[in-house]
A and B are shown apart, each in its own frame.
Chain A
Amino acid sequence: MTERHQGATDDAGLVRELAAGSEAALGILYDRYGDAVFAAAYRLTSDRGVAEEVVQETFLTLWNRAELFDARMGSLAAWLHTIGRNRAVDRLRAAGRRPQLVALSSSAVPDENETQALERAVAGGTVMAGAVQPLGPEEAAAAADLRDAIRTAVAAMPDAERTVILLAYQEELSQTEIAERLAWPLGTVKTRTRRALLRLREALGAEFGPSAELDAVPVRTGQDR
Chain B
Amino acid sequence: MDHDATREQMELAALEPAGIERLMAGDTPTAQAVAAHLTGCPACTGELARLERASKLIGAAVRETPPADLRERTLATVRALGRTRGVPALAGAAPGGLASEVAVPMPIPAAGPMRSPRGRRVAVGWIAAIAAAVVLSVATTSLVVGWRVDRSLAAQTETIGALQEVTTGTLRVTSEPDARHVVLTAASNPNLNGTLVFSPSTSELVVVTTGLTLPPSGQEYRCWVERAGERERVGKMFFSGDLAYWIGPVSAVSGLSGGARFGVSLVDAAGAATDTAPILAGGL
Among the listed stretches A41-49, A110-118, A129-137, which one makes contact with chain B, having 4 or more residues with CB under 8 Å of it? A41-49
- Are A170 and B63 neighbours in the complex by a CB distance under 8 Å? yes
Answer whether A197 and B15 are a contact pair too, CB < 8 Å, given A93-B113, A147-B60: yes
Q: Which residues of B have CB within 8 Å of A123?
A: none
- The chain B residue with its CB closest to the CB of A86 is B111
B270 at the interface (CB under 8 A from A): no
- Are B62 and A211 neighbours in the complex by a CB distance under 8 Å? no
- The chain B residue with its CB closest to the CB of A46 is B63
Q: Which residues of B have CB within 8 Å of A217?
A: 3-4, 7-8, 11
Chain A nearest CB: distance from B105 CB in Å? 8
Q: Which residues of A have CB within 8 Å of B115?
A: 94
- Are B15 and A211 neighbours in the complex by a CB distance under 8 Å? no
Q: Which residues of A have CB within 8 Å of B64?
A: 38-39, 42-43, 147
CB contact list, A1-30 vs B, under 8 A: 1-3, 17-24, 26-27, 30
Answer whether A1 and B93 are a contact pair too, CB < 8 Å, given A59-B74, A64-B82, A64-B108: yes
B57 at the interface (CB under 8 A from A): yes
Answer whether A60 and B71 are a contact pair too, CB < 8 Å, given A175-B15, A194-B12: no
Q: How far is the CA of A147 from the CA of B105 in the complex (A)?
A: 38
Chain A nearest CB: distance from B121 CB in Å? 9
Q: Is the interface of A mostly helix, strand, loop or mixed?
A: helix
Q: Which of the residues B50, B63, B71, B72 comes within 8 Å of A42, measured between beta carbons?
A: B63
B65 at the interface (CB under 8 A from A): yes
Q: Which residues of B have CB within 8 Å of A34?
A: 66, 70-71, 74
Chain A nearest CB: distance from B18 CB in Å? 9
Question: Which of B51, B61, B115 has the most chain A CB within a 10 Å cutoff?
Answer: B61
Q: How far is the CA of A211 from the CA of B4 in the complex (A)?
A: 13
Chain A nearest CB: distance from B109 CB in Å? 11
- Are B70 and A55 neighbours in the complex by a CB distance under 8 Å? yes
B116 at the interface (CB under 8 A from A): yes
Q: Which residues of A have CB within 8 Å of B144?
A: none
Q: How far is the CA of A169 from the CA of B229 in the complex (A)?
A: 18
- Are B108 and A197 neighbours in the complex by a CB distance under 8 Å? no
- Are B63 and A94 neighbours in the complex by a CB distance under 8 Å? no
- Are B43 and A213 neighbours in the complex by a CB distance under 8 Å? yes
A154 at the interface (CB under 8 A from B): yes
B85 at the interface (CB under 8 A from A): yes
Residues of A in contact with B, size category = 35 or more
Q: Which residues of B have CB within 8 Å of A91?
A: 114, 117, 119
Q: How far is the CA of A21 from the CA of B258 in the complex (A)?
A: 33
- Are B87 and A175 neighbours in the complex by a CB distance under 8 Å? no
B171 at the interface (CB under 8 A from A): no
Answer whether A190 and B90 are a contact pair too, CB < 8 Å, given A23-B75, A35-B66, A147-B64: no
Chain B nearest CB: distance from A93 CB in Å? 5
B272 at the interface (CB under 8 A from A): no
- The chain B residue with its CB closest to the CB of A30 is B71
B44 at the interface (CB under 8 A from A): yes
- The chain A residue with its CB closest to the CB of B7 is A217
Q: Which residues of A have CB within 8 Å of B72?
A: 1
B92 at the interface (CB under 8 A from A): yes
B67 at the interface (CB under 8 A from A): yes
- Are A38 and B108 neighbours in the complex by a CB distance under 8 Å? no
Q: Which residues of B have CB within 8 Å of A204?
A: 54, 57-58
Q: Which of the residues B3, B12, B67, B75 comes within 8 Å of A214, measured between beta carbons?
A: B3
- The chain B residue with its CB closest to the CB of A38 is B66
Q: How far is the CA of A209 from the CA of B59 in the complex (A)?
A: 15
Answer whether A3 and B89 are a contact pair too, CB < 8 Å, given A49-B258, A57-B122, A197-B11: yes
Q: A48-B63, A94-B114, A211-B43 are in contact. List 11 more A-B contacts (CB 8 A).
A: A22-B86, A51-B66, A55-B74, A64-B108, A91-B117, A94-B116, A150-B62, A170-B63, A200-B54, A211-B50, A213-B46
16 A–B contacts, CB within 8 A, in A order: A3-B90, A18-B85, A34-B74, A38-B65, A48-B67, A60-B78, A90-B113, A94-B119, A154-B65, A183-B229, A197-B11, A197-B58, A204-B58, A209-B50, A210-B47, A213-B43
Residues of B within 8 A of A (CB): 3-4, 7-8, 11-12, 14-17, 19, 43-44, 46-47, 50-51, 53-55, 57-67, 70-75, 77-79, 81-83, 85-90, 92-93, 97-98, 105-108, 111-117, 119, 122, 190, 228-229, 257-259
